[in-house]
Amino acid sequence: MTGMLDYDAATSRRIEQTYTTRDVVEQREHVLAALALQRGERVLDIGSGPGFLAVQMAAVVGADGHVDGIDPSESMLSLAAARDLRVGAAPVVFRRGDTESIPLPDASVDVAVATQVLEYVAD
């Protein structure tokens, strides 16, 4: 996956707009419910894109939790870093990474999630 999805800024903004459509918003709500996150958990969002899900997860795990978002695209990471974090939300760190090179120590998260990612992972 490395380098495959390093979108330019204009493409990233167009993709970001699709993340606000009803279908994708509902998908995020379904994912959040299925994860059943708990306050204080450490979460990894693989393929975080523009950061919508990571920010929502941060609100759930609260200030005692932590969310890491990784994405191979620098322009997507820029959009994600610009997301508003709610007061009382967990710290969120966005960094470059992919499914083959996760920039975190082993066993450093409680929950990992990858939505709309598997179609980009090599067999």
pLDDT tens, the chain, 123 aa long: 444 567 888 888 888 888 888 998 999 999 999 999 999 999 999 999 999 999 999 999 999 999 999 999 899 999 999 887 766 788 899 999 988 889 999 999 999 999 978 777 776
Kind of pairing between the strands at 42-46 and 66-71: parallel
CATH of 9-120, one of 3.60.70.12, 3.40.50.1000, 3.90.930.12, 3.40.50.150: 3.40.50.150
Domain parsing of the chain, residue ranges: 9-120
- Rounded to two decimals, the pTM is 0.85
Contact 83, 90 (CB under 8 A): no
Least Cα distance to 66 among 86, 39, 104 occurs for 39
